[in-house]
Structure 1
């Protein structure tokens, strides 16, 4: 039984649609968001969902498409978290091929679950997350020369989650990551492109 309710949400002027949780708010109503991004944030927590239209990463010279796509996924992850920090602070727990229900089966998509530990820097205020979980889905549109990234960021702030509930090495995700996995599954089922012309504009 799903714990959350969802609603169809138009993105980029209706060119894309996706079901998002009803308790998420459109950040662009509060502050400026880049034209190639849509950002939604949990009104009752700290989780955010970002849909990002980016230039396709032309990956390594490998002839194996899976290898090229895996490299592209790594490149996007490093850009998200910062290349310098990636090696030291990021742990990828799993990567899977993903089928986006409304898109053609020959459009590759991949999802990874990772955690980034937060390094307390000198002079930084307390209250920074212990770590942030990321569920990153990459949809590769070859013809459009576009990569679409859907990132669910799940900050874990001390006192706001049950530390004993989480042991990703043992498959224990805890409530916040469990919710994010449910959001991701609904996004894979509902994500649809209504206007392919969008990719010529951005």
Structure 2
């Protein structure tokens, strides 16, 4: 059996790299992806992983930054109404567990959001694991998001993939990506 990731995958033209889990499909090969994102989907499930470079939010306290970004994602997902999102845990990640030791702090948040895909009416419940690596010296927050659908509405376009879950990604796969994220070229940040 293969480990979560046996090799490092270049991100952002090789400026960063990280260990990706098995069955990761690069979505940029299928459709346009913003320059500040690397998006991967599981080949057989509706899971996705996103590595995103966003503006450092200096006005947000370190311990509140992951929640800030989670709520921002909920807004983008149109999941801000009461009961549509919930944070279940936020923990600090020790820098000794990371390859990207240049960060001022690192956080892991777990929560749920009720979201629709492609602006459909149908809502799916998704567990969202968010890794946040703060790089104030580069005015950047690095977000790593693992979207793990828990319940798919029968009316969702994602319903077709239900029941075909073969070796879904795990939280350990997500943690491995976060822990192996490595910076090779600081020029990425401008």
TM-score (norm 1): 0.75
Q: Which structure: greater helix fraction?
A: 1
* Greater RCO structure (CA 8 Å; 6+ sep): 2
Matching residue within 65, 69, 80 for 1:76: 69
Contact 1:6 1:22 in 2 (8 A): no
What whole-Å deviation, never above 9, does each CA across 1:133-164 have from its counterpart, x for those lacking one?
Answer: 00001100011111000000112226837xxx
Q: Where does residue 145 of structure 1 map in the other structure?
A: 139
Whole-Å Cα distance in 1 between the matches of residues 127 and 80 of structure 2?
15
Aligned to 2:52, what secondary structure does the other structure show? strand
Superposition RMSD in Å? 2.6
Please tell me whether Structure 1 or Structure 2 has the larger radius of gyration of its CA atoms: 1
Q: Runs of 5+ in structure 1 lacking a partner? A: 61-67, 162-174
Q: Does 1:114 align with 2:111?
A: yes
Please give the alpha-carbon distance, in whole angstroms, between the structure 1 residues aligned to 2:25 and 2:84. Answer: 29
Gaps in structure 2 of 5+ consecutive residues: 154-158
With the length of structure 2 as denominator, give the TM-score of the two structures: 0.79
Structure 2 partner of 1:25? 25
Figure out how many residues of one structure are paired with residues of the other and give that number: 172
Aligned to 1:21, what secondary structure does the other structure show?
Answer: coil
Q: Say whether the 8 Å CA contact 2:114–2:126 is kept in structure 1.
A: yes
8 Å Cα contact 2:103/2:134 also seen in 1: no
For residue 189 of structure 1, what is the aligned residue in structure 2?
Answer: 179
